């Protein structure tokens, strides 16, 4: 029971961002919150599957500091992103903007959905029972005989 409580407490705790050392945080709480939200949109180029807010790599820390500097300097979120985008390209944004180069990436869910629907339709058409040929003369006679033996159906 106690273990369960501890586990629940761990699950319930707010997203821990232990890597942001207090000294790096902005004194203004709303600006810091903005910086964190922005940082979660920026890819750590070294670890590649983490945001800079989640990574302990020194480049991620440098980028966290840059995000905060730009915010203090009065940049909008879009300006901060374009600052990093100019240096690191689409890959630095965890939500890449649409371009023809990554159109295939954006189209993948739609393509997968259409392909799945197509497969289902195909499978259903195959599974449909073939139309039965009409009864032959002999079969019809046998059926009539069975009906007489069982008595008329309700």
Residues that bind another protein (CB under 8 A): 45-46, 48, 58-59, 62-63, 66, 85-89, 91
Residue 37: is it exposed, middle or buried by C-beta count within 10 angstroms (0-12/13-18/19+)?
exposed
> CB of 62: closest distance to another protein in angstroms?
6
Angle between helices 58-72 and 77-88 (to 10 degrees): 140
51 phi/psi in degrees, rounded to 5? -85, 165
> CB of 88: closest distance to another protein in angstroms?
5
Q: Which is nearer to another protein, 8 or 115 (CB)?
A: 115
For 143, the 3-state DSSP assignment is helix
> CB of 134: closest distance to another protein in angstroms?
27
Q: Which is nearer to another protein, 63 or 80 (CB)?
A: 63
- Cβ–Cβ contacts within 10 Å for residue 92, how many? 19
């Amino acid at each position: 029971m106690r273990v369960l409580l501890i586990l629940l407490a761990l699950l319930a705790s707010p997203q821990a961002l232990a890597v942001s050392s207090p000294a790096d945080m902005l004194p203004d709480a709303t600006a810091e919150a903005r910086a964190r939200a922005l940082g979660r949109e920026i890819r750590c180029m070294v670890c590649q599957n983490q945001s800079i807010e989640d990574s302990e790599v020194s480049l991620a820390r440098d980028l966290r500091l840059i995000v905060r500097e730009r915010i203090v300097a009065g940049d909008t979120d879009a300006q901060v992103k374009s600052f990093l985008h100019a240096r690191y390209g689409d890959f630095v944004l965890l939500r890449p903007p649409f371009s023809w180069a990554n159109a295939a990436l954006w189209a993948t869910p739609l393509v997968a959905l259409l392909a799945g629907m197509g497969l289902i339709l195909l499978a259903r058409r195959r599974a449909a029972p073939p139309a039965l040929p009409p009864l032959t003369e002999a079969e019809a006679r046998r059926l009539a005989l069975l009906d007489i033996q069982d008595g008329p159906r309700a």
